[in-house]
């Protein structure tokens, strides 16, 4: 597949094109699109009813068109905008961008998408302003989200096909999402997994806890450094993507994340180390550092990384300093 063409019509995204191969010969276009790119029925209907949605060798066609080897198949989707999101100037740390994706390194303290009573100062506001300044009509489509006080990589799809493809990868568990965190204590093993169901706490529906009737939840961890028995640096990979999963799972094994004021453990919050670290970081020390996935259009493996933010670097230095003074 290829998609480097100039978008000459502002009402449509740049075309997505690929060349039919021998296995496509004699098949209906809808079958080829489902086989080659897993296109959904809903998106197929949108393309079918769009003036420039489906074409073969430059001519408009219908989904039942019979494909021949060597045909140039082109998809064009009509542009959309998120009319309810107010554009707002914001400094964005762009890790990767092309016609299909925008990947940002989100700072801590920023919500990804507007919520009730919180319509400004979100990542979505900043992205809409960025696109508006460039004269682009694009709807804000985050493929996944991070907690307000978690920093790191966020993927935003620029059109419905990219969103569909990336969401499917997320559902299939083929996306690698790796985080770096600093926790109190030391996990039971140097490397292992936490396989414990997570559900809402009865008394506080916003809080998640490990409970037998919760949703299956799997977290893989690897300790990369220890600071006596008081703290650990850990790389975490998600097997599932439950709300607050890492924070809940680490607390469940007696290793709450440093700086987390919501999921805590009295043993550590009243400790001398907690007192020393309280001024170093003002949020949970959790950073989405690495994403590996297949590009939704080209199929190329994407490996994107975001370095530790300054507050977590300071925390790492302070932990090292404390461990050498014990």
Of all helices (H) and strands (E), which one includes residue 314?
A: helix 310-325
Q: Check residue 95 and report its DSSP letter.
A: E
Residue-wise DSSP of 238-258: ESS--TTHHHHHHHHTT-PBT
d(CA 278, CA 275): 5
Residue-wise DSSP of 123-166: HHHHHHHHHHHTT-----EESS---TT-EEEEEEESSHHHHHHH
Count of CB atoms within 10 A of residue 241's CB? 15
Question: Of residues 71, 147, 260, 265, which has the active-site annotation?
Answer: 147
147 tagged catalytic: yes
For 159, the token pair is 């059109």
Q: How many CA atoms lie within 13 A of 133 on its CB side?
A: 10
Which active-site residues does the annotation give? Answer: 147
């Amino acid at each position: 597949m290829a998609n480097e063409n100039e978008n000459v019509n502002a009402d449509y995204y740049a075309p997505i094109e690929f060349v039919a191969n021998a296995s496509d010969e004699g098949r209906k276009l809808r079958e080829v699109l489902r086989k080659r790119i897993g296109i959904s029925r809903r998106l197929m209907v949108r393309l079918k009813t769009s003036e420039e949605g489906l074409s073969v060798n430059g001519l408009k066609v219908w989904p039942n068109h019979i494909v021949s080897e060597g045909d140039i198949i082109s998809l064009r989707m009509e542009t959309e905008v998120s009319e309810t999101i107010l554009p707002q100037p914001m400094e964005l740390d762009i890790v990767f961008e092309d016609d299909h994706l925008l990947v940002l390194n989100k700072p801590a303290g920023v919500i990804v998408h507007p919520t009730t009573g919180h319509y400004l100062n979100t990542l979505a506001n900043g992205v809409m302003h960025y696109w508006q300044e460039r004269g682009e009509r694009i709807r804000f489509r985050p493929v996944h989200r991070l907690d307000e006080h978690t920093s790191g990589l966020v993927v935003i799809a620029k059109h419905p096909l990219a969103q569909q493809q990336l969401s499917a990868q997320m559902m299939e568990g083929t996306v690698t999402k790796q985080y770096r965190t600093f926790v109190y204590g030391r996990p039971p093993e140097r490397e292992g997994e936490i396989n414990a169901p997570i559900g809402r706490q009865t008394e506080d529906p916003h809080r998640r806890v490990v409970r037998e009737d919760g949703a299956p939840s799997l977290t893989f961890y690897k300790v990369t450094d220890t600071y006596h028995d008081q703290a650990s640096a850990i790389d975490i990979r998600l097997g599932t993507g439950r709300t607050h999963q890492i924070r809940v799972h680490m607390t469940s094994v007696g290793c709450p994340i440093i700086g987390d004021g919501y999921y805590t453990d009295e043993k550590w919050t009243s400790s001398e180390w907690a007192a020393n670290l309280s001024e170093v970081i003002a949020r949970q020390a959790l950073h989405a550092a690495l994403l590996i996935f297949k590009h939704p259009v080209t199929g190329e493996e994407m490996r994107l990384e975001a370095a530790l933010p300054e507050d977590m670097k300071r925390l790492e230095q302070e932990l090292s300093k404390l461990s050498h003074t014990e």
